[in-house]
Every structure is written in C-alpha cells, then in structure tokens.
Amino acid sequence: MTSLAELEELCRIRIFEEQVRELALEREVIGSVHLCIGQEAIPVGVCAALEPRDALFATYRGHGWALARGVPPEELFAELLGRATGTNGGRGGSAYLSSARHGFYGENSIVAGSAPIAVGAALAAKFDGSGRVSVVCVGDGALNQGAMHEAMNFASAFALPIVFVCENNLYSELTPIAAMVADPELWHRAAAYAMPGVRVDGNDVDAVRAAARDAVQRARSGGGPSLIEAMTERLAGHYIGDVEQYRPAGEVDRAREREPIGRLTSQLVASGVAPQHCEAASQRAAATIERARAAALHAPAADVSLVREHLYA
Amino acid sequence: MPELNYAEAVNAALRRALAEWPETLLYGEDVAKPGGVFGVTRRLYREFGERVFDTPISESAIIGSAVGAAMMGRRPIVEIMWVDFTLVGLDQVINQAANVRYVSQGALTAPLTIRTQQGAVPGSCAQHSQSLEALFAHVPGIRVALPSTPQDAYDVLLSAIACDDPTVVIEARALYNGPRENVELDGPIAAVGGSRHRHRGEDITVLTWGAQTHNVVAAAAELDAEQIGLDVIEAVWLNPFDTPAVLDSVARTGRLMVVHEANVTGGFGAEVLARVAESGISLRSPACRVGLPDLRVPAAPGLSSAVLPSASSVAAAARTIIGSESVPWNAAGQYYDAR
C-alpha cells in the first residue's frame, strides 16, 4: 500500500534533517543534534498505524518521529533555533522536544529513559478507558540499559497496551551493536518477556507499517505488548560533526543503495507511478520545508523574561 | 478524632486519596496483597481493588511508569520501599519527572507522588540507613517533604498527592510504630510547604526535620532546665523551604544549629547555613551543623549510635555553641571526625 503521500513524508523528514544540518554548520542551530537521515521509513511506517489518541514517545534522534506524528516543521525548526514559537519555546531543544497536542510525548536523551514512561501511558490507558496505545521508539543501544528490561517486563507482566520499537541502525552511538551483545538479533529478547517479537526491514515503509499495525491492533485489543526490531542504517553521523572514522570504508555508500527514499521511489515506479510524480512529491516536500525554515528563522527569540516559569504548578 | 500512629496515619491518607480521587493509583513492591513490608498499605487493596497493585522489583519501571501515567491524567502514588532504592530509579526522578513541566512549558505535567522511607535504626545495613533528602532537594522541579508526626504524615502526604508537581515524601521508618495521637482526618488539604515551631526559646535557633525532630525536642526539654532556650523549627518541607521562618528565628536568637541525620558534607544543613549567611543576619556564635560525620552507617547498634545525632549530642552541641565563640566543624564532642 505504498503511496506518493508516504514518499512525500519520507522526503519531508529527509529534507528537514538536511536543512537542520546546514543550520547547525551555519551556527544557527547550537548544541548537539542527532539526525535520522536514512531511517525515515520507521517513523513514517509506525505513525501510519497510529490514531490521534495514541501516545508516542521517542528517543533523542526523534525529529523524524515528531514530523511523522504531525508536528509542524516550522515549530520544530523554531525549537531547534531557540525561538519562542518552538514546540517547547526553545526549552526542549533538539533532544528533548515534545508536542502533546500531536500525541508526541517527547524525545529523551537518556536512551532507554522513555520506555518506562511509555509503559506508564499504557498503564493509564488500562484505567482511563481511552483505548490508547502507547508506542516507544528506542535505538539498538538502549536495549542494553536496565530500564528497558524493567519496562518490557513490567508491560508484559500486566499485558499493557504498548509497542516497543527498536530502530537498529547497527551502531550504539559510535560502537557497533554487534560488539556489545552476544546475540545481535535484538528481537529475540521479546521471547524472554513472552511477548511477540519481530525483525523487519526498517527501510521498507510497507514492512514497518504492517508490523506496526499488527502490534498496535494486538495492544488495543488487550493482547499486550510486542517488540518490533526495525533494521536500518544511518546515512549521517551519530551527531553533527561526527567524522565517523569508526565506519568501514564504503559502508555508507552501500547503505545509500538501500535507503528508504530510493527504495520507495523504485517500488512506486515499478507499480506504474510516473517518475515525474515522484519527483513532484519530493519538490512539494522541499517547498514545505523551505517555507517552514524561513518562517522559523523570522520568529522571535525565546523570551528570556519567561525563563523561570513553568517549573512548578 | 481517631488515635493513630505514624504508619496508620499514612494509611489513612492513602485511603482518603483513593476514595476521593478516582484518578489515583497506588502501587509498588509488596504494597497490595502483602500490605507493605512495614504494613503501611494494609487493607487498601481489599478496599480499592485493582487501583492498588504489586509490581516487579523494578524501581525504574515503577517511577517511570508513574511519570507516564501522570502525564496521561492519572495521579499515581508509588512506594519505593527504602530511599536507598530510589537510586536504582533516579533517572526517572531527576532526568524525567523533574523536566516534564519545564521543558514543555507546562503543556505536560507529572503529578506523581513517590512515597519512601529512610533513616538509621539499630541493625540496619549501610544500604538501608542513608538519608538522601539533599539529593532530591537539589533538583529543581521536585517537591520534597519529611513528616515526623502522625498528623503531618497524614496532612503532608495528602498535600503531596493533591499537588500537581512530582513530589517525594520521605517517611521515617523509626517512627512508623511510634505513639498514637489524635489525628484530624477530615480537614482541608493544605498547599505544599510550611514548617512547624516545635519548641520556643531565645538562645539558639535549631532547624531540623524528619526523625531527628524528636531528638531535638528532647534536647530542648533537657536544656530548658539549664536555662538554654532552643527555638526549634521543623522543616516539614525542604522544597518549598520555609526560609523566612528560619530567618525570623535567627534574627531573635543570633545563633543557628541545623540537625539532620544525613552526612554533613553537602547535606541540606549546608544550604540552611548558606541562606542565613546570605541574609546578612549577624550571629553571636558561629553556626553549627550536627549530622552524620560523613560516614557509611555501620550495622552494629553500638557503632551506629556512636555516630548518629542523638538528643544528648544535640544538647552537647548547643552547650558548646553557648559556651564558645569558636565552634569547630561538626562539633559535638563525641563525634568521630571522618576527615
């Protein structure tokens, strides 16, 4: 069920991230920023399976998740630029932004820190009758933090409506995940919690969407949690400025042959979509992002007079 | 008015919260069917059913899930069995709960209550005797309270649960089975904050909290006979902290002692001394901290009682302050100097 709309969504995230990289190199965006270039199919596929009432929690590499969840790119740019119109008025920054009105309950710069919180959203759903499903995205490295184990066990023990999504881009920050685990098939861990686990091609929107729909449906119908391991590759460094000396020569070039935008474009063309329609989708995405960036750059700086507010009720 | 001990007062507060606020949840290790290892949550599972439940031994998941459930409109009350165990889940307190409101500009809130208990009692091990209130009080965004009487155990917990901020209520294990007193159960729920004047005197302001309050009050009674008047203030809340109450008292007495069970270095007592110093009120004697002299807490009762503050060591420190122009750091004669 691939579509031009999904291609445009992938392109929006890709172009947003490329623009963020530019803004960071121009010193307009200050501080640590972690891009998801190459990983766009996972948020797009998972968010396609969600309803507005669902609660999404992400990791620090979460701009793509925010965009896929419907957070306006202008607000995200503004947040990264430290503007008053940012999703969080500049307080969350790149690694801790949220937008509750879009069902996006936040990134987290503690890699597994969002998992227990997402479990709590699922726990609340058990009592509030909302039918809400909670989804948490973490990276491969997060599976080695203790909070992840606690969260998965807790969720499974109480059959809570949550989906754990692991974006496995093969690197835990700068170190290969394979060197840090005895079993690099991380989805195997689901068995320890008696929950379904599945590994999917995370560069394939269809595959991600299908796995997410299964997992969300199971959660919503009382079947409890599940784990989706989505395999992908980073086309960017861990952070902007990462020289990636740890990556073997040619690895990123080979990854470009498998990345989700080229892949979805080929699928669409093979199914009969005219190439110029794919190109038009990309151009629409570029125009949207360019407008958002310009608007954010014109927005007022975060208001210093408010810096002490919102600490306590 | 029923006569309740400290543990029964906590239980009564939890019962009222569960009865009055359907959005409350009560959970933690062994709190439901077993009724809590100290019996504090007895019968609540029977009365309130699935809103009271036992959890895996998973402090990150307990506190973190409370953060998430609170963000979604529940009002979770979680028990961390010993304050020492909060360290297992501290990310969820300091990196997560404390940030929810601030980084979202109030669009998200996390009104959860963490109940725990601390303090040294004879025979406890070094991982079951620590006093960690300064850790929490150091973190903006977290409210911190340490009640010491049955009435305050009841009132403070309800204030914490009603509060829309993440709140840590540190109970005192040594007091759970203490004497019963009449506890007013139907009063209005106060806003967080406030202190209690526990003894009047004109010579030394003594600021304390938690289980040490009882030692300090006993010392004050002993010193009355010697015409040394302690003005004893109990800080039931460390955040918000009642600085004006301390300054008002110090302005009268011209002397200050802080007594706590936590290690002296970096303890909240240091913060109190700093606030008084910054106020510009001049003191007649150097200010003094009485606390655990930067030690691990030994298990042997004879060893721990030699180093923990007591009524007699508090009284001795007060006499030293009155009699001396220069009080050495952590001066109570029998204290072992860890340095």
| Number of neighbours of residue A228 by Cβ within 10 angstroms | 28
Query: Which residue, A51, A248, A158, A194, is CA-closest to B25?
Result: A158
φ/ψ (deg, to 5) at A296: -65, -40
Contacts of residue A294, Cβ cutoff 8 Å, sequence gap at least 6: none
At B325, the pLDDT band (50, 70, 90 cuts) reads: low
For residue A255, pLDDT over 60 is answered with: yes
Q: Considering only the beta carbons, identify the residue of B59, B65, B91 that sits closest to A110.
A: B91
Contact (CB<8Å) A312/B141: yes
Contact (CB<8Å) B102/A106: no
Angstrom CA distances, A113 to A20, A66, A137, A151, stand at 25, 17, 11, 10
At A2, the pLDDT band (50, 70, 90 cuts) reads: confident
* CB-based contact, B163 to chain A, within 8 Å: yes
Contact (CB<8Å) A120/B106: no
Mean pLDDT of chain B: 95
Buried b / exposed e across B266-286, counting CB within 10 Å, b at 16+? ebbbbbbbeebeeeebebebb
* CB-based contact, A60 to chain B, within 8 Å: no
Q: What is the ipTM of this complex?
A: 0.96
User: Do the beta carbons of residue B171 and residue B36 sit within 8 Å?
Assistant: no
Contact (CB<8Å) B108/A105: yes
Instruction: Collapse the DSSP code of A228 into the 3-class scheme (helix H, G, I; strand E, B; otherwise coil) and give the result.
Output: strand
Mean pLDDT of chain A: 97
For an interface test with B, which of A123, A305, A308 has the most B Cβ atoms less than 10 Å from its Cβ?
A123
A168 to chain B, minimum CA–CA distance in Å?
23
Instruction: Look at residue B258 in the predicted model and tell me its pLDDT.
Output: 97
Contacts of residue A261, Cβ cutoff 8 Å, sequence gap at least 6: A7, A10, A11, A14, A40, A282
For residue A102, pLDDT over 50 is answered with: yes
With contacts defined as CB-CB under 8 Å, which chain B residues touch A134? 68
Instruction: Look at residue B331 in the predicted model and tell me its pLDDT.
Output: 46
* CB-based contact, B177 to chain A, within 8 Å: no
Q: What CA–CA distance (Å, rounded) separates A142 from A172?
A: 8
Counting one residue from chain A and one from chain B, the pairs whose CB atoms sit within 8 A come to: 144
Q: What CA–CA distance (Å, rounded) separates A67 from A19?
A: 14
The alpha carbon dihedral of B231, B235, B240, B241 has a sign of positive
B143-145 and B237-239 strand pairing: antiparallel
The alpha carbon dihedral of B69, B75, B76, B82 has a sign of positive
At B326, the pLDDT band (50, 70, 90 cuts) reads: low
- List the 77-106 stretch of A: residues with Cβ below 8 A of B: 88-89, 91-92, 96-101, 105-106
At B334, the pLDDT band (50, 70, 90 cuts) reads: very low
Section B99-117 average pLDDT = 98
Alpha helix stretches (DSSP H) within B128-286: 133-137, 150-162, 212-224, 243-253, 268-279
Amino acid making up residue A229 = E
Q: Considering only the beta carbons, identify the residue of A101, A134, A310 that sits closest to B105.
A: A310
Angstrom CA distances, B329 to B134, B233, B317, B320, B334, stand at 19, 22, 11, 12, 13
Which class for B123: exposed (0-12), middle (13-18), buried (19 or more C-beta within 10 A)? exposed
For residue A46, pLDDT over 90 is answered with: yes
With contacts defined as CB-CB under 8 Å, which chain B residues touch A97? 103
DSSP A102-118: GTB----SSTTTHHHHH
At B339, the pLDDT band (50, 70, 90 cuts) reads: very low
The residue of chain A with its CA nearest to that of B92 is: A113
| Number of neighbours of residue B290 by Cβ within 10 angstroms | 29
Q: What CA–CA distance (Å, rounded) separates B313 from B310?
A: 5
For residue A193, pLDDT over 70 is answered with: yes
Run of H or E residues at A54:
none
Contact (CB<8Å) A115/B64: yes
With contacts defined as CB-CB under 8 Å, which chain B residues touch A92? 103-104
Extended strands (E) in B22-62: 24-28, 52-54
The residue of chain B with its CA nearest to that of A130 is: B72
For residue A275, pLDDT over 90 is answered with: yes
For residue B336, pLDDT over 80 is answered with: no
User: Do the beta carbons of residue A120 and residue A71 sit within 8 Å?
Assistant: no
Contact (CB<8Å) A150/B56: yes
* CB-based contact, A113 to chain B, within 8 Å: yes
Peptide bond just before B240 cis, omega within 30 deg: yes
For residue A234, pLDDT over 80 is answered with: yes
Instruction: Look at residue B333 in the predicted model and tell me its pLDDT.
Output: 40
Angle between helices A4-25 and A275-298 (to 10 degrees): 40
Instruction: Look at residue A284 in the predicted model and tell me its pLDDT.
Output: 98
* CB-based contact, A110 to chain B, within 8 Å: yes
Instruction: Look at residue B323 in the predicted model and tell me its pLDDT.
Output: 85
pLDDT in tens, B116-143: 999 999 989 899 999 999 999 999 999 9
Looking at residue A222, the DSSP 8-state letter turns out to be T
Comparing A158-172, A298-312, B312-326, the range with the smallest average pLDDT is: B312-326
- Per the annotation, the verdict on B214 as an active-site residue is no
Q: What is the SS3 assignment for A131-188?
A: CCCEEEEEECHHHHCHHHHHHHHHHHHCCCCEEEEEEECCEECCEEHHHCCCCCCHHH
Q: What CA–CA distance (Å, rounded) separates B206 from B245?
A: 11
Which class for B122: exposed (0-12), middle (13-18), buried (19 or more C-beta within 10 A)? middle
Contact (CB<8Å) B63/A106: no
User: Do the beta carbons of residue B40 and residue B176 sit within 8 Å?
Assistant: yes
For an interface test with A, which of B55, B90, B102 has the most A Cβ atoms less than 10 Å from its Cβ?
B102
Q: What is the SS3 assignment for B272-336?
A: HHHHHHHHCCCCCCCCEEEEECCCCCCCCHHHHHHHCCCHHHHHHHHHHHHHCCCCCCCCCCCCC
Instruction: Look at residue B234 in the predicted model and tell me its pLDDT.
Output: 98
At B227, the pLDDT band (50, 70, 90 cuts) reads: very high
Q: What CA–CA distance (Å, rounded) separates B46 from B24?
A: 16
Section B91-98 average pLDDT = 98
Q: Considering only the beta carbons, identify the residue of B99, B140, B163 that sits closest to A96.
A: B99
pLDDT in tens, B40-78: 999 999 999 999 999 999 999 999 999 999 999 999 999
User: Cα A78 to the chain's mean position, in Å?
Assistant: 19
Half-sphere exposure (Cβ direction) of B314: Cα atoms closer than 13 Å? 31
- Residue A26 is encoded by which pair of tokens? 């121009």
pLDDT in tens, A131-155: 999 999 999 999 999 999 999 999 9
Task: Name the β-bridge partners of B204.
Answer: B230
* CB-based contact, B68 to chain A, within 8 Å: yes
With contacts defined as CB-CB under 8 Å, which chain B residues touch A55? 72
Q: What CA–CA distance (Å, rounded) separates A156 from A219?
A: 11
Instruction: Look at residue B327 in the predicted model and tell me its pLDDT.
Output: 52
Instruction: Look at residue A14 in the predicted model and tell me its pLDDT.
Output: 98
Q: Considering only the beta carbons, identify the residue of A89, A116, A123 that sits closest to B92.
A: A116
For residue B332, pLDDT over 80 is answered with: no
User: Do the beta carbons of residue A109 and residue B88 sit within 8 Å?
Assistant: no
Contact (CB<8Å) B96/A98: no
* CB-based contact, A125 to chain B, within 8 Å: yes
The residue of chain B with its CA nearest to that of A158 is: B55
B108 to chain A, minimum CA–CA distance in Å?
7
The alpha carbon dihedral of A138, A143, A145, A151 has a sign of positive
Contact (CB<8Å) A116/B60: yes
For residue B338, pLDDT over 90 is answered with: no
- Residue B145 is encoded by which pair of tokens? 């309270």
